[in-house]
Structure 1
């Protein structure tokens, strides 16, 4: 029977690996000072409840390339990608000024609240900001430490893809930040942000890392890219739609945060493309304001931008689906269910 990358047992093993790793790091941290136990607590709390998509795509790459489904070291290597995701999200929440993540206070807000509760001296906001920066840096360091500890034979080959992944996600984040300083982005420019901020680091590089660990050749790596890029882009477009129209009870974040923050997403770019001069004037005046969330959301829906992005998602899903078929029946059994998980979701 062909193993599946979305096996719940694999996710359980990833969870156990993350907890065990934090337990070992806690011993190191608490020897350096009692306050550092707070960092260990924040780290394990932050990754609780995650979808584990990046570890699962890493495992999928491993399986497609012929890796042993029962090899325990691939769990260690794949789990390391969860620290990379956590690092990016901690910093992302800070840059965006987000109050919540997965229905809980974001890291900078949690440390700010702790400062208040313990009646500490100094600025609670500054303490929260500093703690979040440092925790994000620590989690990025843990990515490499946990990954190397897997000691799989082809770890050096896979590290090249991990290094690219880290560079690309920072590049994507900067493109996103820079995009918010411009009056508008074209659909093509907004899609460039999607590709580097999410598609490559969520799907393509995890697939490459797992496949490289199993000894994949250049042809298979290229075939996985054909699957990954449209799938990763569809994943991020779904994320953008949920950020505007999703149910906060499912997403764990207030609806409309992207609009409130002035993000030049593909949804916004499509709206600017499809609306009239009055609609574009509304975007200029309302995007990036709290009061403008409702009017911009209504415009995105009424001008056809939401429908256009849903069509984009369907088109990208079809492209990825065809690429999976080209890899063969075994790859279809491994990747097919995981691909649906990435784009057919409510959170």
Structure 2
């Protein structure tokens, strides 16, 4: 960020607010799960503990995540991220404070689109210039690219569901599962592990083993996130209570809730989910519907089942470095712990 901030400053002093916003967004908080899984995927494949190259390559995944979050917050009209104003809201506030002309919301949205794109460019730049052997980067690049394609199309399917899907039909669960896999599960754990492994020259057997561990763990992570999006403590999540209901997210939790409610209650949840005039007391009412449906308990059981699958796969994985196995176990537990 020091290097990129200097570059932006040379282009124009008007870019200082943009540079400051991205620095704050990247460096103030965040779980850093994707870089951690990439690094320990590398270590498990025999990669050196002290390597500036893998630190750079893994950090590129955090730039990808930041890009996705900037755009995601704009699409979801989120006011906050990690307890701070989201990027589009920050630039709306800048517009207001400086008394600029024109549409304040449009300016904020435009800034978020462009800065999210800039983060995506920096992600590619950092990965390709990580300092690792070019052959290693070339070996990992197809999975790195696949990961980025998967998260973008998963996000598109997530945007599509509220406008084109029917939450009461038989295909709703399958569609929610597809979004979960591609928007989050693969992108959060499976692909970062595999990228790290390929950067270290891992054999196909280990890359496959990381998939067997990472995919169920990634699914469990997202299911936990879905529960937090409805029932999480704002002091922990950095988002308002019930934010997923306010944003209208058609998660697997919501799909299960639809099936556990009466026809009238399911219809009410379907109609009011993400409604622009949703008041705080109505958000609380929708939370109660989801709780009463039995879906949270079903999702908790699924998380436990997925964790067993993931940990069995980790125990059987042919890792080179046993310390990596212990750290991956700790990361798995941290990614799926209760926080509400």
- Which TM-score applies when normalising by structure 1? 0.91
Q: 4+ runs of 1 displaced by more than 6 Å?
A: none
- Hey, what's the Cα distance between the residues in 2 that align with 1:307 and 1:61? 32
Name 2:221's counterpart in structure 1. Answer: 235
C-alpha displacement of 1:345: 4.8
**Is the contact between residue 300 and residue 306 of structure 1 (CA under 8 Å) also seen in structure 2?**
yes
- Post-superposition Cα deviations, 1:6-62, rounded to whole Å, max 9, x if no partner, equal xxxxxxxxxxxxxxxx11112221221111122211111001211110100001110
Q: Secondary structure at the match of 2:47?
A: coil
1:338 to 2:331 alignment = yes
Q: Contact between 2:44 and 2:197, CA under 8 Å: does it hold in 1?
A: yes
Partner residue of 1:104?
84
Find the aligned partners of 1:327 and 1:243 in 2 and give their Cα distance: 32
Q: Distance in 2 between matches of 1:220 and 1:68?
A: 17
TM-score by length of 2: 0.93
Alignment deviations for residues 161-213 of structure 1 (CA, whole Å, 9 cap, x no partner): 11111101001100100111123162222111010000111101110110001
Partner of 2:124: 144
Please name the residue that 1:163 is paired with: 145
Q: Tell me the secondary structure at the aligned position of residue 88 of structure 1.
A: helix
The number of aligned residues is: 326
Q: Deviations over 1:124-157 (max 9, x none)?
A: 1111011000000000000011112212120111
Residue by residue, what CA displacement relative to the aligned partner does 1:258-305 show, whole Å, maximum 9, x if unpaired?
Answer: 111221111110011222212222223322231442222111111211
Residue 193 of structure 2 is aligned to residue 207 of structure 1: yes
What corresponds to 1:3 in structure 2?
Answer: none
Within 5 Å, give how 1:26-65 maps onto structure 2. 26-47=5-26, 48-65=28-45
Aligned to 1:307: 297
Is 1:204–1:228's contact at 8 Å kept on the other side of the alignment? yes
Separation in structure 2 between the aligned mates of residue 46 and residue 81 of structure 1, nearest angstrom: 14
2:154 aligned residue (172, 175, 186) = 172
CA distance in 2, matches of 1:26, 1:286: 43
Q: Is residue 248–residue 255 contact of structure 1 (8 Å, CA) maintained in 2?
A: yes
Contact 1:286–1:293 (CA under 8 A) maintained in structure 2: no
d(CA) in 2 for partners of 1:28, 1:222 = 40
SS for the counterpart of 1:180 is helix
Distance 2:71 2:185 in 1: 18
Q: Do residues 81 (structure 1) and 61 (structure 2) align?
A: yes
Q: Which residue pairs with 1:9 in the alignment?
A: none
1:123 and 2:123 correspond = no
Conserved 8 A contact 1:94-1:108: yes
Determine the C-alpha separation between the residues in 1 that align with 2:270 and 2:81: 28
User: Deviation of residue 116 (structure 1)?
Assistant: 0.6
Q: Which moved more, 1:246-255 or 1:328-337?
A: 328-337
Measure how far apart 1:332 and its partner are. Answer: 2.8
**Structure 1, 41-50 or 326-335: larger mean CA deviation:** 326-335
Kept after mapping to 1: 8 A contact 2:154/2:179: yes
**Whole-angstrom distance in 2 between the partners of 1:345 and 1:128:** 34
In the alignment, the residues of structure 1 paired with residue 106 and residue 293 of structure 2 have an alpha-carbon distance, to the nearest angstrom, of 42
Cα offsets for 1:57-111 (capped at 9, x unmatched): 0011101111011122111111111100000000000000000000000000000
Gaps of 5+ in 2: none
1:325 aligns with 2:318: no
Distance 1:282 1:130 in 2: 34
Of 261, 266, 270, the residue aligned with 1:284 is: 270
8 Å contact from structure 2 (residues 166, 172) kept in 1: no
Contact 2:56–2:130 (Cα < 8 Å) also in 1: yes
- Alpha-carbon distance between aligned partners in 2 of 1:147 and 1:39, rounded to the nearest angstrom: 22
